[in-house]
Amino acid sequence: MTRKNTENRGSRIPKRRIDVTEITDKLKLRIAGAFEKHFRHFGFKKTTVDDVAADLGVSKKTIYTHFKSKDEIFYFIISRKAEARKEIIEDQIMHIDSAMGKMEEMIRINFSEFRKVHKRKIKAMDEHFQSEIAAGAFRQAFKQLVSNIIEEGVKKGEFEVSDHDMTVRFTQALITEAIHTIREDNSLQPEDVLVASVNRLLQKTT
């Protein structure tokens, strides 16, 4: 073998290994994106796996490899939106020094956004069941945010908490109940009462 051939062999660029997981994740996102488009245009009930599979040029089996049902796809879509929304709010409140200040601002931002969404006629949520799935996804996403704020408040000496997990649950329960009042009557303004209730739950007794 000549020196030239040896050099050429040594200078070859190795082929990039195909990441099967990356390909699978991209396809999963494509499927979810197509379903989201159909949900918005046709509504949840009228969206079929057959139609979405035809649009994507894949088989129904391919879709069911990634998702077990339409409900699971809907939850996946909403969960991603909820997580993205949580990260935005984290950025919006990070400049606030006090933990209670962060909690209050987080509550007010959430209620402001919820009112905007509640006023819209979203075909994707044309059933109470889908609305509950969405609410569950957002509760799960914001559970960690509430937990982090409470933990920060305890470290700073603002909050007095004997059972962290239970306190997170109680705080979320108060927020959820207040949201239910808006769903029933969008003209209500429960934020001030909610903030005061959360403050009483968390504040350090003297």
The CB-side HSE value for 6 (13 A sphere, CA atoms) comes to 3
Mean pLDDT of the chain: 82
Q: Do the Cβ atoms of 142 and 82 come closer than 8 Å?
A: yes
Q: How many domains does the chain have?
A: 2
Tokens of 10: 């040594």
Task: Give mean pLDDT, residues 175-187.
Answer: 79
pLDDT digits (tens, 9 = 90+) for 121-140: 444 445 555 667 777 777 78
Query: Is residue 36 pLDDT above 50, yes or no?
Result: yes
Query: Is residue 23 pLDDT above 80, yes or no?
Result: no
Q: Do the Cβ atoms of 157 and 102 come closer than 8 Å?
A: no
The answer to whether residue 111 is domain-embedded is yes
Report the pLDDT value the prediction gives residue 18, as an integer from 0 to 100.
43
Residue bearing tokens 């009042």? 181
Residue ending a domain, choose from 44, 67, 90: 67
Parent domain of 52: 15-67
Residues 163 and 203: their CA atoms lie apart, in Å, by 14
* Percentages (nearest 5) of helix, strand, coil residues in the chain: 75, 0, 25
Q: 92 and 48 in one domain?
A: no
Single pTM value for the model: 0.70
27 vs 180 pLDDT, higher one: 27
Q: 164 and 84 in one domain?
A: yes
Query: Is residue 171 pLDDT above 60, yes or no?
Result: yes
- CATH of residue 45: 1.10.10.60
pLDDT digits (tens, 9 = 90+) for 52-105: 999 999 999 999 999 999 989 998 998 888 888 899 999 999 999 999 999 999
Residue 161 binned pLDDT confidence (cut-offs 50, 70, 90): very high
Residues 163 and 85: their CA atoms lie apart, in Å, by 27
Query: Is residue 17 pLDDT above 50, yes or no?
Result: yes
Task: Give mean pLDDT, residues 147-160.
Answer: 95
117 vs 75 pLDDT, higher one: 75
Q: 143 and 159 in one domain?
A: yes
Task: Give mean pLDDT, residues 173-190.
Answer: 82
